[in-house]
Amino acid sequence: METNKTLVSIVGAGPGDPDLLTVKAYRCIREADVILYDALIDERVIDLFPESAKCIYVGKRAEDGTCQDVRQNNIYELYRQFADKKLHVVRLKSGDPLIFARGVEEIRYLQEKGIPYEIVPGISAGLAGAAIFGIPLTERAVAPSLLLSSGVLLSEGLEHLKPSIALLKEGSAIIIYMSIKRMREIKTYLLQQGISAETGMVILSKISTPDQQKWVGTLEDVDAFLADGIPSPSLVVLGKNVHTLR
């Protein structure tokens, strides 16, 4: 049934290490006609791209002057062109396509245009980091929930962090992606809301790459850790019981 053939696979590339691709993501990449990939895709994953595939970088270039909407429309245009040619496009997004990755907007476009697609989940960086460094995330009677949040999606006034307060108070962990630039502000906000400066904090940088690094301490240490200079991409894990076992 040619008409039902999946033309676009929106694939989570995980945190970087190709070993953390899913089997399905690995196969999608190796069999792709076209690969559209973002800024954060690891060199080792790019090395897996088949020579026969047309590989197009569609990520953000620092200060390239292109606004997000123009870039997004370019991606839609590529989807349309390659779908017309019945080529299999792999849209590679770091982490998981549905977690802080604008995956949903692209899916809506494909749906509107009737382009058959599938979504292949990926290991989100926060969960990969927790596994690599042994960070307790959920635990019976200690940390019943886990919140994933994004510094980029936070409102200016940080009111989006409000639900975190109750979670931190009960002992649960929160992972804040893309938040380093706002950590001083976030620390001040959390302290004002009655969160202890002794709350466990782990900052992870370049998770699952040879350059990965961790900073382990408490909320109190934000300034000291920032003074080190934390290479991007990075994320912050906070919680009463947050520390590293490895």
Active site residue 96: no
Active site residue 60: yes
Residue with tokens 């696979």: 9
Decide the pairing of beta strands 234-239 and 173-177: antiparallel
Specify whether the CB–CB gap between 95 and 123 falls below 8 A: yes
Helix axes 68-84, 103-113, angle to 10 degrees: 40
Residue 153: strand pairing partners? none
If binding means CB under 8 A, how many residues of this protein chain bind a copy of itself? Answer: 62
User: Pattern of binders to a copy of itself over 14-43, x per CB under 8 A?
Assistant: x--xxxxxxxx-xx----------------
> Encoding tokens for residue 107?
């899916």
Is residue 5 at the binding interface for a copy of itself, with CB under 8 A as the rule? no
In the complex, the smallest distance separating the C-beta of residue 126 from a copy of itself, rounded to whole angstroms, is 10
Q: Which stretch binds a copy of itself (CB under 8 A): 12-20, 33-41, 178-186, 213-221?
A: 12-20
Is residue 44 at the binding interface for a copy of itself, with CB under 8 A as the rule? no
Is residue 46 at the binding interface for a copy of itself, with CB under 8 A as the rule? no
Question: Kind and range of the H or E element at 112?
Answer: helix 103-113
Q: Give the angle 206-177-215 at the CA atoms, nearest 5°.
A: 50
Active site residue 183: no
Residue with tokens 């496009």: 89
Q: Which residues bind a copy of itself (CB under 8 A)?
A: 12, 14, 17-24, 26-27, 96-100, 102, 104-105, 107-108, 111, 119-124, 127-128, 130-132, 134-141, 144-150, 153-155, 160, 162-164, 166-167, 170, 172, 245-246
